[in-house]
Amino acid sequence: MAYSIGIDLGGTNIVVGLVDESCAVVDRESAKTRAPRSAESLTDSIASCIEKLLARHHLPVKQLQAIGIGVPGVVHPETGELLHATNLFLKNVDFPGLIRARFPEVTVCIANDADCAVFGEYLAGAARNYKSALMLTLGTGVGGGFILENRIFRGATGFGIEPGHMAVETEGTVECSCGQRGCLEVYTTIRGLKRMTREALSGGRASVLRDRVDFAEPSFNARLLFEAAARGDVVANEVLDRFVHYLAIGIRNFVVLYRPHIILLGGGISHAGDVLLKPLRAKVARTTVSGDVLPPPPIECCRLGNDAGVIGAAMLHREGLDMRTPA
């Protein structure tokens, strides 16, 4: 049996998985990211996790096919250098070189973490029976990626797609983290839901959310909103309708541009399930160009959870090859 190592380097946790040739995670180790700290220190933690996995399974390093790492930032398409990772407080880091120095016998690959996640879902998850897949991760921001016939779509620059910064509102008043206004990310994130809920409650209208949501807290529990909407709360459903409106615009644009065979939703907000999916599918079907002649692709939630990024990273060395078996 051949194995690879997949690394999901997140802002909070480092997850390292041992992945077999069928794209299954055999075992995993994790460590706290504890950012900010140096790239060398992060590499020490990664190497320690890899060594524990190899020791536990009595595997020599030379038996690994590759080590792949998914990073939350911009990766140079030719050198593999991590150019910028806001959550890690890092710039211009040669992670492949640092890891290769610890494991010189092994091929090392690197990609953006969202690209790794959609690649994992494409190989072993919700998109394994499709020729192409576009994924949107809905959480604190909007990330995502596009896979076409076993390859990560990186575009002319090599930096892939930035779905969160597609304009969906021409007269937007709320500034996005990128400095522009009207971005998809302004409306279809945890922060967007929190802002829209606060606005909807500002007139003193009755809602179960009034006593359940503390707007003074920096976080926002989106589950409370979706639960209230499922129970018929008028304010919650108005916020959900607004959320679905903007997300459907974004999906319509992606369908027109990329014609993916399936669209996947990931991230914390996707856990709402049918409360979100049913109105979203209906809205997309009504607004997509040539709906009857060329219906929109299916919209589904991701299946692999955090394993998607680990699997995708582990299999970066086999990008371009069809490794999938029918579900």
Q: Where are the domains of the chain?
A: 3-120+306-318, 132-301
58, exposed or middle or buried, with CB in 10 Å at 0-12, 13-18, 19+? exposed
CATH number belonging to the domain at 132-301, selected among 3.90.1150.10, 3.30.420.40, 3.30.390.30, 3.40.1190.20: 3.30.420.40
pLDDT of residue 27: 97
Write down the CATH superfamily of domain 3-120+306-318: ATPase, nucleotide binding domain (3.30.420.40)
Q: For the chain, how far is it from start to end, CA to CA, in angstroms? A: 21
Q: What does the angle CA 287 – CA 290 – CA 295 come to, to the nearest 5 degrees?
A: 80
Give how far Cα 305 sits from Cα of 126, 194, 264, 313, 323, Å. 11, 24, 12, 14, 20
- Identify the pLDDT of residue 212: 86
State the pLDDT confidence band at 173, using cuts at 50, 70 and 90.
confident
In the chain, % helix, strand, coil (3-state, to 5) comes to 40, 25, 35
Whose tokens are 């394994």? That residue is 128
The string of pLDDT tens digits covering residues 269-287 is 999 999 999 999 999 988 7
**pTM of model > 0.85:** yes
Q: Confidence class of residue 293 from pLDDT cuts 50, 70 and 90?
A: low
Domains 3-120+306-318 and 132-301 share a fold: yes
Whether the per-residue pLDDT at 211 is higher than 80: the answer is: yes
CA 113, CA 133: separation in Å to the nearest integer? 16
The tens digit of pLDDT for each residue in 237-266 reads 999 999 999 999 999 999 988 999 999 999
The pLDDT value recorded for residue 220 is: 87
